[in-house]
Structure 1
Amino acid sequence: MTTSIIGFPRLGEFRELKFTTEKYFRGEIGEAELLETAKDLRSKHWNLVKEAGISEIPSNDFSHYDNVLDTAFLLNVVPKAVQDLALTDLERYFALARGYQGEKGDVRALPMKKWFNTNYHYIVPKFEKETDVRLASHKIFDEFAEAKAQGLLTRPVLIGPFTFLQLADYEEGLDATDFVEGIVATYQEVFARLAELGAETIQLDEPSLVKDLAAEEKALFLDIYNRLLADKKGLSVLVQTYFGDVRDVYADLIALPIDALGLDFVEGKKTLELVSTGFPSDKVLYAGIVNGKNIWRNDYAKSLAILEQIPAENLVLSTSCSLLHVPFTTANEEFEETIVQHFAFAVEKLAELRNLDTIVAGGGQEILETNKALFAAERVGENADLSARIAGLTDADYTRLPAFAEREVLQAERLHLPELPTTTIGSFPQTAEVRATRLAFRKGDLSAQEYDDFLAKHIDEWIKWQEEVGFDVLVHGEFERNDMVEYFGQNLSGYLFSKNGWVQSYGMRGVKPPIIWGDVTRLQPITVKWSSYAQSRTTKPVKGMLTGPVTILNWSFPREDISIKESTLQIALAIKEEVLDLEAAGIKIIQIDEAALREKLPLRRSDWYEDYLDWAIPAFRLVHSTVAPDTQIHTHMCYSEFTDIIPAIDNMDADVISFEASRSNLVILDELKAQNFQTQVGPGVYDIHSPRVPAEGEIDHTIEAILAKVPSRKVWINPDCGLKTRGIKETRKSLVRLVEAARAARQTITD
């Protein structure tokens, strides 16, 4: 038996790629230095995987921003507006990822969406009528050659043609079938060039196969692969799936002339059942048995029990998905041994694969017994009182009264806001000074009073600026918060925090998900101090800013010893206490962000409600169900696809919901109108994930498009998301244009 992984983290052990790329963005270094850093990281990672004893090593899983965007450049699926700019290839690449605004032109970034059921985001490619699909990049070949020059025969990885077409957008009048011929021809050219370079196998990632497949989607997949596999150019083809099972197409997959198939035995509910029906002896099964998305140690006994039931004659042990979704290594952490022994980050998962391989081969009995002892011991005790509270919840605990329509009237009378009220999502830029001061306080180099004075000064400055610009509902800026989940977790029992547990979220943006270790309760008030202070500095309403229970759960590494539902309800009860304290302190508007609501939504529609929405939506309602009718509850949702769960979102029973919308061209508005959405809405009017400042008139046109589909009395004007990662100058210029556009739109309504 051999071992492999689907992909490896690319930011670097200490986020080297992030920091070097940001220097490039700031103009402090050139392309050559950035590319050299990337090359060094690839070499380090390949050799690390090799030295860990992994038999098959992937290449081209590295990316400067996103693998889907890499594939778009490979296939020349690049909008004409960007191709026409007099930019280098790398500049064009980043222009699509981040937007470009300079002397050579002005282009907006492509849309960004969640990568299946993870917190990673991919750039959405777009096919236009002018799109000429052809081989247009050499990255995959260069990286294979790099590894080969170091004596490593890697397996090149590429987003599969079916998944690429499924994830892409299309200009009106076009669909995937218009590009099948060009896609197949280009992939075959990739095959041929890799074979010339000495490659033996190519990995085609097809995670879209784990979703519900309509008849026409299944037909598209088979059409592509029957054409593609007619001439493999001498390569062995591995079709790799992850994040679920392939029940809709398993029989077709094993009948295709592919050489290997990768299946997920962690998240794939029916994967074992499917392979139990038989697996071809002439194909290799890559068994995803080590969890690539969570940080807990693998239970070897459970994994071995699964492996014993797999009938495949040729088996490779692998991860359930790319290790992109977990931190680099526990070696850089400071947990006690009694704690860290329960964790496996990316490097440790390599060892788990090797250990399982050793045990299956008939050795490693001591390793197995040590692992069994780890799982036999009680890790944490149960909070009996908390369990009783959850068991005692009734329907009344999830129901807010009176109904929304009556609350809407009462809130309007209390708040006296104009039509098209303006606000931001919560955070303002966290400058180097803010981060350095917070670090100094955490290290004890700054007293509590000195730190409080610093925060008060920043809050005062931004409250005054918001008043001068003319915002209607203000925010305090969240300068005291390092992260919207970690900040709350630090004030909750049951949480642990890594020192270097960074995971890529999008582009060079890393997040450090906290770890839910035990039962969760609130230890003390979390946000009341600074929300109350900000409100005392103005007569305008200041939003209290909280992170919702579903997002806290989804942006943490969850426990595996209790259900996700139970963990979420524990968090919901804790955040409920915070909501009531804010209300008691006189905060009239409370925003409870559920940025990651969709993140854990099952990929198959048949599992949506029973496995997720039937408890996730009530968990949000539990948080705000007992506030007064005239307290206005907001929530916010980040980059994702929400159009198919609009009724569930309306059922959250918030008073105002703000959505990411600018990068997705406001497509959600059509569905809001069709579903007779009752909640007030704030579709984002400009993209904050790009440094680009909206052009003159741009936000005006966006507001005009919103008002064409949503009644003005239901509309709020706000950016897409929080402004933590942006610079002060670009933020202020963009927000001034936002307020000016809202004023102009109000005048139009009045006229």
Structure 2
Amino acid sequence: MKTSVIGYPRIGAARELKFWTEAYFKGQLTEPELKENARLLRRTHWKRLQEAGIELIPSHDFSFYDGMLDTAVLLGAVPSRYRELGQGELATYFAMARGYQGAQGDVRALSMRKWFNTNYHYIVPELTDDLTLALSGSKPFDDFLEAQAEGVLTKPVVIGPFTFLKLSTFKGSKKPEDYTSELIEAYAQLLSRFGEIGAEWLQLDEPSLVTDLTESDLALFTKLYSSLLSRKGSVKVLLQTYFGDIRDGYTEVVSLPFDGIGLDFVEGKETAALVKKHGFPRSKVLFAGVVNGKNIWRNDYSHTLQVLSSLREAADQIVISTSCSLLHVPYTVQAEPQLEEDARRLLAFADEKLQELSELRVLGEDADHSQNPLLLANVRLHQEKKNKTKDRVQARVRDLSPGDFTRSPSFEERSKVQKKHLQLPLLPTTTIGSFPQTREVKLNRSRWKKGELTTEQYQANLRAMIADCIRQQERLGLDVLVHGEYERNDMVEYFGENLSGFLFTKQAWVQSYGTRCVKPPILYADIERTARISVDISAYAQSLTEKPVKGMLTGPVTILNWSFPREDISTREIALQIALAIRDEVLDLEAAGLRMIQVDEAALKEKLPLRKSDWHEDYLDWAIPAFRLVHSGVKPETQIHTHMCYSEFQEMLASIDAMDADVISFEASRSHLAIVDAIQDNGFRTAVGPGVYDIHSPRIPSQEEIVSTLQSMLEKIAPDKCWVNPDCGLKTRNPEEVEQSLTVLVQAAKQVRAELH
């Protein structure tokens, strides 16, 4: 057996790439310096995989921002507005990712969406009628040759043509099938070039195969690859899938002349059954994704060896692989010496998963592995797991009744009460919650954690920052205020730190998008709230103003989806435990005088099953009730807000409406207000705040731009149900950008409000 890795983390073990890239944005690092640093980082990664004994090492899985964006540039899918800036290749690339506003023009960034069922965000390629797709770059070849010069023969990785078309947007009359001949030619040239420079394998990632496919989808896939594979030459082509199974096209896929096919045996519910029922071609190599690329618990070797044993009946050649790219997990547990040993030995980050692959290969080649020390040690590890349950928490979940998930009175009655109670103008203006995490903010928190500040000093500094934030919002003229969230490092980690049952890391960073990294907490035991979390700070902020201040919380589904979950109890059980903890906080915020409480569910869509047939039973039937449980006990006059971002919500709007919130804010600017059409088409009852400008870009919107956006929104949303807000929280922006953007937002809202009167 051999071992393979689909992809490896690229941000650097200490987030080096993030800091280098941000220094480049600020003009503190030159382009050659950035590229040289990146080269050294890639070399470190290749050598690490080589030393771990991985035979099929990926290249071109590295990116300065995003792999889909890299593929778009590779294929020449650069919209004219970016080319017309007249910038260099890298600057144009970053303009597509982040937008650009300067001497050479003013362009918005391309849309950004969640990558299947993960918290990673990809840049959406934009295909226009005037665009001709053709092989236009050399990055995959450069990376391969770079590794080759370091003595590492890699397996180049490129996103496949089918997934590229499925995830692109089409700005014109052309449809996906109109680009097939161009894509076939481009990918054929890709294969030819790799053959010339000595590549043995080319991995083409096609995760779109695990989604619901129509007959036309399968026809498109077959057309692309029937032609492409007839021209593959000497290079072996690995079709790599992940995040699920390929039940809609298994027989069609395995009948095509791929040299290898990668299947997911972790998230693929039906993968094993498909192989058993239909077999697997003896002439092909089966890349078996048996090591979880998304979660961080040690692999259960006994179970995995059973899977591999059953596969031997179907496949002659098996490569042991990760279930998906290791992009979705941190680098190494070795960077977390502060964790207790009982916890550390249960964890496997990227480097530990490399070790697991190598050990599974050894065990798989051992005809009588039952007494192999590697297996015996793994068995003992799983047998010795400590009890992580709490009777009182489980009893509280067990005692829930249907009434605990229903708020009264009805939405319509509450709306009337809240309108009278809050006395807000039409088109009320607000923000999503966070304000810039400046150096001063971060220093206050870090010095307190290091013991350089007393708790009293830390709290005094915090209150001064909150007071400044409230004054700024009042001066700007916002209608509903927030306290700025200066006490929070991350919207999930902060709440996890204040609930029992979580483990926290210091260096376990995972890329979310571009230079944005998160440090997901680890759900380790039963969850409960042992003390008030945000109540005192929120009450203090409200005491500073007559305007309503939103209490800011993270919802149970987002806390679950943005953490590494337990595997010993159901996700439903975990979600309800967290929901009860957040419910306690909601009720205490209300008792402290907060008239509005925002419970963010930014990640609601994230773990929605990729197949609609699994939506309700596997997810929505517990996710929506978990949110309702959080707020079902509040008074009619208390207004419940929530926020969601960077996903396509149109198909699940009925379920979102069933969350029974009073106001929902959505990301909308990068998706060109697509959500607004769906809101109108679905008769959405909840008041909405589609984001009017993109906070993930440094560009400042103009008043005319936001006025036009609001006018478009009001063609489809009633004025008394429309809120005005940015796309997301402002923590990543600098104070000057926030001041300018919010000034424009408020003035635009006032202008449109006056026009309505």
Q: Distance in 2 between matches of 1:696 and 1:136?
A: 38
Structure 2 SS opposite 1:275 = helix
TM-superposition CA deviations, 1:468-517 (whole Å, max 9, x none): 11100000000000110111011111011011000000001100000011
- Residue 614 (structure 1) aligns with: 621
Give the whole-Å Cα distance in 1 for the aligned partners of 2:50 and 2:274.
32
Displacement of 1:746: 0.3
Amino acid at match of 1:337: E
Corresponding residue of 2:62:
62
1:423 aligns with 2:430: yes
Q: 2:275 matched to 1:302?
A: no
1:25-72 CA-partner distances (Å, limit 9, x unpaired): 111011001001110010000000000011110100000000000000
Once residues 29 and 348 of structure 1 are traced to their aligned partners in structure 2, the CA distance between those partners, rounded to angstroms, is 33
Provide the rounded CA distance (Å) in 2 between the counterparts of 1:706 and 1:426.
22
Aligned to 2:239: 239
Q: CA deviation at 1:696?
A: 4.0
- State the distance in 1 between where 2:30 and 2:728 align: 30
State the one-letter code of the partner of 1:290.
V
Question: What residue number does 2:339 align with?
Answer: 335
| One-letter identity of the residue aligned with 2:58 | P
Question: Alpha-carbon deviation of 1:380?
Answer: 2.5
Give the structure 1 partner of residue 596 of structure 2: 589
Is 1:453 paired with 2:460? yes
Matched position secondary structure for 1:397: helix
Give the Cα–Cα distance (whole angstroms) in 1 for the partners of residues 439 and 195 of structure 2. Answer: 48
Question: Matches of 2:177 and 2:702 in 1, distance apart?
Answer: 36
Alpha-carbon distance, 1:432 to partner: 1.3
Match of 1:279 in 2: 280
Distance 1:358 1:439 in 2: 45
Which secondary structure state, in structure 2, belongs to the residue aligned with residue 634 of structure 1?
strand
Indicate if the aligned counterparts of 1:133 and 1:183 stay in contact, CA closer than 8 A: yes
- 1:44 counterpart SS class: helix
Aligned partner of 1:470 among 474, 477, 481 = 477
- Secondary structure of 1:239's aligned partner: strand
How far the C-alpha of 1:341 sits from its partner, in A, is 0.3
1:741 corresponding residue in structure 2: 748
Looking at structure 1, the residues matched to 425 and 292 of structure 2 have their Cα atoms a distance apart, in angstroms, of 51
1:160 Cα offset (Å): 0.4
Return the offset for 1:379. Answer: 1.9
Give the secondary-structure state (helix, strand or coil) at the position aligned to 2:499: coil
Q: Which of 360, 368, 372 pairs up with 1:365?
A: 372
- Structure 2 counterpart of 1:315: 318
Larger deviation, residues 599-608 vs 429-438: 429-438
For 1:575, the equivalent position in structure 2 comes to 582
For structure 1, list consecutive stretches of 5 or more residues without a partner in the other structure. Answer: none
Alignment partner of 1:405 is 2:412: yes
Q: Distance in 1 between matches of 2:627 and 2:576?
A: 9
Deviation at 1:699, TM superposition (A): 0.7
1:79-228 residue pairs with structure 2 within 5 A?
A: 79-228=79-228
Q: Is the 8 A contact 1:602 1:608 kept in 2?
A: yes
Counterpart in 1 of 2:230? 230
201-210 or 230-239: which moved more? 230-239
Q: Aligned partners of 1:382, 1:339: CA distance in 2, in Å? A: 15
The corresponding residue for 2:254 is: 254
Partner SS for 2:511: strand
Q: Which residue of 1 aligns with 2:677?
A: 670
The RMSD of aligned alpha carbons is 0.8
Report Cα offsets for 1:686-712 as digits up to 9, x if no partner.
Answer: 000011111341111111111011011
In 2, distance between residues paired with 1:375 and 1:426?
Answer: 42
Q: Is the 8 A contact 2:703 2:748 kept in 1?
A: no
Q: For each residue in 1:251-310, what CA deviation from the matched residue of structure 2 results, as whole angstroms up to 9, or x when unmatched?
A: 011110110000000000000011113111100000000000000000000101111111
Contact kept in structure 1, 2:663 and 2:687, CA below 8 Å:
yes
Aligned to 1:501: 508
Counterpart amino acid of residue 334 in structure 2: A
Give the conservation status (yes or no) of the 8 Å contact 2:259–2:284: yes
C-alpha separation between the residues in 2 aligned to 1:300 and 1:322? Answer: 20
Q: Which residue of 2 aligns with 1:384?
A: 391
| SS of the residue 1:494 aligns to | strand
- CA offsets, 1:648-696, max 9 Å, x none? 0000000000000000000111111111000000000000001111134
- Corresponding residue number in structure 2 for 1:325: 328
Contact 2:407/2:631 (<8 A) preserved: yes
The aligned amino acid for 1:476 is H
The alignment's TM-score, normalised by the length of structure 1, stands at 0.99
Per-residue Cα deviation, 1:130-167 (whole angstroms, up to 9, x for no partner): 11111111110100000011111111000000000000
- The alignment's TM-score, normalised by the length of structure 2, stands at 0.98
8 Å contact kept, 1:188–1:233: no
SS of residue paired to 1:309 = helix
**Does structure 1 retain, via aligned residues, the 8 Å contact 2:703–2:745?**
no
| 1:84-124 deviations in Å (ceiling 9; x for gaps) | 11100000000000000010111100000000000000000
- Rounded to whole Å, the distance in 1 between the matches of 2:723 and 2:49 is 50
The alignment status of 1:350 with 2:357, answered yes or no, reads no
Q: Which residue of 2 aligns with 1:518?
A: 525
Q: Alpha carbons of 1:320 and 1:114: their partners in 2 closer, same or farther (altered >3 Å)?
A: same
Counterpart Cα distance in 1 of 2:269 and 2:696: 35
Cα separation, 1, equivalents of 2:522 and 2:335? 16
Q: Tell me, what secondary structure is at the counterpart of 2:517?
A: strand
- Which residue of structure 1 lines up, in the alignment, with residue 13 of structure 2? 13
State the partner residue of 1:488: 495
Structure 2 match to 1:375: 382
Query: 1:495-551 CA distances to partner (integer Å, 9 max, x unpaired)?
Result: 110110000000011000000110000010000011000000000000000000000
- Give secondary structure in 2 for the equivalent of 1:658: strand
1:723 paired to 2:730: yes
Give the match's secondary structure for 1:350: helix
Aligned mates of 1:232, 1:389 — CA distance in 2: 60
Do the aligned partners of 2:388 and 2:524 also contact (CA within 8 Å) in 1?
no
- The answer for the alignment partner of 2:549 in structure 1 is 542
Secondary structure of 2:525's counterpart equals: coil
Q: The residue matched to 1:282 in structure 2 has which SS? A: coil
Change (3 A) 1:75 1:381: closer
Q: 1:683 is matched with which residue: 677, 690, 696?
A: 690
Post-superposition Cα deviations, 1:613-636, rounded to whole Å, max 9, x if no partner, equal 011000000000010001000000
What is the identity, as a one-letter code, of the residue corresponding to 1:672? I
String of CA shifts for 1:403-434, please: whole Å, max 9, x gaps: 10000000000000000000000000001121
Letter of the 1:437 partner, please give it: N
Tell me, in whole angstroms, the C-alpha distance in 1 between the residues paired with 2:102 and 2:193: 37
SS at match of 1:155: strand
Contact 1:46 1:57 in 2 (8 A): yes
User: Following TM superposition, by how much is the alpha carbon of 1:172 offset from its aligned partner in structure 2, in angstroms?
Assistant: 3.1
| Partner of residue 27, structure 1 | 27
For 1:435, what is the secondary structure of its paired residue? Answer: helix
Give 1:323's aligned amino acid.
L
Cα distance in 1 between the residues matched to 2:389 and 2:747 = 54
Distance of 1:243 and 1:693 partners within structure 2: 37
Amino acid at match of 2:320: L
* Distance in 2 between residues matched to 1:632 and 1:695, nearest whole Å: 31
1:646 maps onto 2:628 in alignment: no
How far did 1:378 drift? 3.6
The amino acid of 2:568's aligned partner reads D
In the TM superposition, what is the alpha-carbon distance from 1:381 to its structure 2 partner?
A: 3.6
Letter aligned with residue 142 of structure 1: D
| Distance (Å, rounded) in 1 between the aligned partners of 2:646 and 2:106 | 23
